[in-house]
Amino acid sequence: MTNDETDAPWWQRGTIYQIYPRSFQDSDGDGIGDLAGIEARLDHVATLGVDAIWLSPIFPSPMADFGYDVADYVGIAPMFGDLAAFDRLLAAVHARGLKLLLDFVPNHSSDQHPWFQASRSSRSDPRRDWYIWRDPGPDGGPPNNWISDFGGSAWEWDAATGQYYLHAFLKEQPDLNWRNPALRAAMLDAMRFWFDRGVDGFRIDVLWHIVKAEGFPDNPVNPDWHPGITERDRLLQRHSTDQPEAHAIAAEMRALADGYGDRVLVGEIFLPNDRHARWYGTPDTPEVHLPFNFQLVENAWDAAVLRRVIADYEASLPAFGWPNWVFGSHDAPRIAARIGEAQARVAAMLLLTLRGTPTLYQGDELGIGEVPIPPDRVRDPQDLRQPGLGIGRDRSRTPMPWDASPFAGFSTTEPWLPLNPDWRTRNVAAQDRDPTAMLQLYRDLLRLRRAQSPLSVGTMSLLDAPDGVLVYARAHGDARLRILLNLTAQDAIVDWHGTPLLSTLEGPSVPGLLRANEGLIIA
């Protein structure tokens, strides 16, 4: 699909930057980031060269899952600020020509949400059916075999009313019942509340979970499960996720967003390509603009694997569907921890030159790598419930290191999670002065992406390449660029000529050769 530069909407041309609010900047000395802190650090986001910010949840929450347990969909958690602070942040973001996306969590609320408090108060409460209540199964145990994504049964017994409620995640995160029209209307009203305030869109949490199969049949056993992977994977989530009825809801959310003009919906959806692509909807009944594509996170860092992943994903897209790519998040391991810093530079070039909207995760622009979390500092509930699997998410949620002052300029006190061990040298101020730093590479890539329409809106074709090397062309109008990525630590013979625009390495690039760990953009 070709897109004229001038008519491509901002969310196709642009780049999204994810901020994890607890860990961006603390302004009030409690060791936890907040909205005023984000506002104070907008220069960094603007000079980086991204187009939009997505904020992980900032709503009132007991923080059992660090904000993904929402106790009020139309407020701000006091630790982050208040609505006035939010309005100031939004205005400051817009004043810099940036967009702001919030994180909407529709599958479940907090068990402290007044709706759930009402729902659990009695079987006859008008809000009973806003959540998913079932009688015990025939053996007196849970209604079916479903497993929570964080381990254990997905059902919690409520002695007061003598029924179980469903929770796909923690028991403190009861699943909402989207089959109930009143709940549905209340949730759409919450989206409207933020659209009316001026937000430019939402990232929608676990969107493919929001409707469950009628009758709640048992999920089938996963024949590939083995000890050492999460308990969730014992079963295939056939009946608990990706139900046909959920698409009508996504379409309803989209219609609401479209009513406000140039807004965007990004859906968190983990599914194989064919089912993933359905979340774009159809041209007549569109659903989310960008079903998040996590395949760079999920697949090995290997040229042959990625070539196939890119080709298969591109082939799976509907004609009107715009691609997107993600390399890091508050859930995924850090890229630099996975593949090392030299290859993380190549990964940055891949992410920012593929066809489709990239989402960057805060701190990856500094190349933050593995952050050891001492056992007494572990906060991630998923890790605490299933220790020893190496699935901890705290390692990607550590505070942004801003400078070499105490607590890295993040806070005036010990932060809620440890800093990266190399924060004294790996921080924004240090990298700002160092032309060879990862931060400069990200800035250069983002500048080039903005200047070169083939990168932002052009077509893409995969080209032949030697083992360990990924090569593709991006073209728009008369302009054509080639991207050559050496995914190995050995030099590779690659026949290229032309003008190098940017390399991941210092020093002159050598025609006919890709140096070890070199990524190259050629005009």
102 makes contact with ligand GLC (CB under 6 A) = no
- For residue 206, the partner it binds in Mg ion, ligand GLC, none, with Cβ less than 5 to 8 A by kind, is ligand GLC
Please state, in angstroms and rounded to a whole number, the distance separating the CA atoms of residues 463 and 445. 21
Please state, in angstroms and rounded to a whole number, the distance separating the CA atoms of residues 461 and 314. 10
- For residue 383, the partner it binds in Mg ion, ligand GLC, none, with Cβ less than 5 to 8 A by kind, is none
Residue 143 carries which DSSP code? Answer: S
* Count of all residues that appear for the chain in the document: 523
**Selected catalytic residue, list 26, 111, 200, 268:** 268
Please state, in angstroms and rounded to a whole number, the distance separating the CA atoms of residues 231 and 237. 12
Q: Smallest gap, in angstroms, from Cβ of residue 213 to ligand GLC?
A: 20
Q: Smallest gap, in angstroms, from Cβ of residue 179 to Mg ion?
A: 39
Q: Report the residue number, 44 or 330, with the smaller CB distance to ligand GLC.
A: 330
* Phi, psi torsion values for 103, nearest 5 degrees: -105, 115
Is the CB of residue 502 less than 8 Å from the CB of residue 480? Answer: no
- For residue 30, the partner it binds in ligand GLC, Mg ion, none, with Cβ less than 5 to 8 A by kind, is Mg ion
Please state, in angstroms and rounded to a whole number, the distance separating the CA atoms of residues 325 and 472. 16
**Selected catalytic residue, list 111, 149, 205, 518:** 205
30 makes contact with Mg ion (CB under 5 A) = yes
Among 19, 26, 147, 332, which residue sits at the site for Mg ion (rule: CB under 5 A)?
26
- For residue 32, the partner it binds in ligand GLC, Mg ion, none, with Cβ less than 5 to 8 A by kind, is Mg ion
Is the CB of residue 174 less than 8 Å from the CB of residue 163? Answer: no
User: What amino acid occupies position 350?
Assistant: L
The yes-or-no answer on residue 205 being catalytic is yes
The yes-or-no answer on residue 422 being catalytic is no
491 makes contact with Mg ion (CB under 5 A) = no
Q: Smallest gap, in angstroms, from Cβ of residue 269 to ligand GLC?
A: 10
28 makes contact with Mg ion (CB under 5 A) = yes
- For residue 28, the partner it binds in Mg ion, ligand GLC, none, with Cβ less than 5 to 8 A by kind, is Mg ion
Please state, in angstroms and rounded to a whole number, the distance separating the CA atoms of residues 429 and 409. 10
322-351: contacts with ligand GLC (CB under 6 A) = 330-331
206 makes contact with ligand GLC (CB under 6 A) = yes
- For residue 68, the partner it binds in Mg ion, ligand GLC, none, with Cβ less than 5 to 8 A by kind, is ligand GLC
Residue 443 carries which DSSP code? Answer: H
- For residue 352, the partner it binds in Mg ion, ligand GLC, none, with Cβ less than 5 to 8 A by kind, is none
Please state, in angstroms and rounded to a whole number, the distance separating the CA atoms of residues 228 and 14. 39
Nearest Cα residue to 220 out of 235, 230, 232: 235
167-186: contacts with ligand GLC (CB under 6 A) = 169
Please state, in angstroms and rounded to a whole number, the distance separating the CA atoms of residues 259 and 263. 9
205 makes contact with ligand GLC (CB under 6 A) = yes
* Phi, psi torsion values for 512, nearest 5 degrees: 85, -5
Number of residues that bind ligand GLC (CB under 6 A): 9
Q: Report the residue number, 68 or 155, with the smaller CB distance to ligand GLC.
A: 68
Q: Smallest gap, in angstroms, from Cβ of residue 108 to ligand GLC?
A: 7
- For residue 34, the partner it binds in Mg ion, ligand GLC, none, with Cβ less than 5 to 8 A by kind, is Mg ion
514 DSSP β-pair partners: 492
Q: Smallest gap, in angstroms, from Cβ of residue 418 to ligand GLC?
A: 19
Please state, in angstroms and rounded to a whole number, the distance separating the CA atoms of residues 406 and 429. 13
Tokens, residue 434: 């160092």
Residues 375, 378, 380: CA angle, nearest 5 degrees: 150
16 DSSP β-pair partners: 52, 359
CA quadruple 507, 511, 517, 523: dihedral sign? positive
Q: Smallest gap, in angstroms, from Cβ of residue 156 to ligand GLC?
A: 16
Q: Smallest gap, in angstroms, from Cβ of residue 3 to ligand GLC?
A: 29
32-40, 115-123, 317-325, 453-461 -> range binding Mg ion (CB under 5 A): 32-40
Binding mask 41-80 for ligand GLC (x = CB under 6 A): ------------------------x--x------------
Query: Greatest CA separation found in the chain?
Result: 75
Q: Which residue is nearest to ligand GLC (CB)?
A: 68
| Sequence-separated (6 or more) residues with CB below 8 Å from residue 248 | none
28-36, 53-61, 142-150, 486-494 -> range binding Mg ion (CB under 5 A): 28-36
| Sequence-separated (6 or more) residues with CB below 8 Å from residue 299 | 305, 306, 309
Q: Report the residue number, 8 or 64, with the smaller CB distance to ligand GLC.
A: 64
Q: Smallest gap, in angstroms, from Cβ of residue 417 to Mg ion?
A: 13
Nearest Cα residue to 188 out of 90, 74, 70: 74
32 makes contact with Mg ion (CB under 5 A) = yes
444 makes contact with Mg ion (CB under 5 A) = no
Tokens, residue 501: 């625009």
400 makes contact with Mg ion (CB under 5 A) = no
Please state, in angstroms and rounded to a whole number, the distance separating the CA atoms of residues 202 and 267. 8
Helix (H, G, I), strand (E, B) or coil at 55: strand
Catalytic residues: 205, 268
User: Which positions lie near ligand GLC, rule CB under 6 A?
Assistant: 65, 68, 105, 169, 205-206, 268, 330-331
User: Which positions lie near Mg ion, rule CB under 5 A?
Assistant: 26, 28, 30, 32, 34
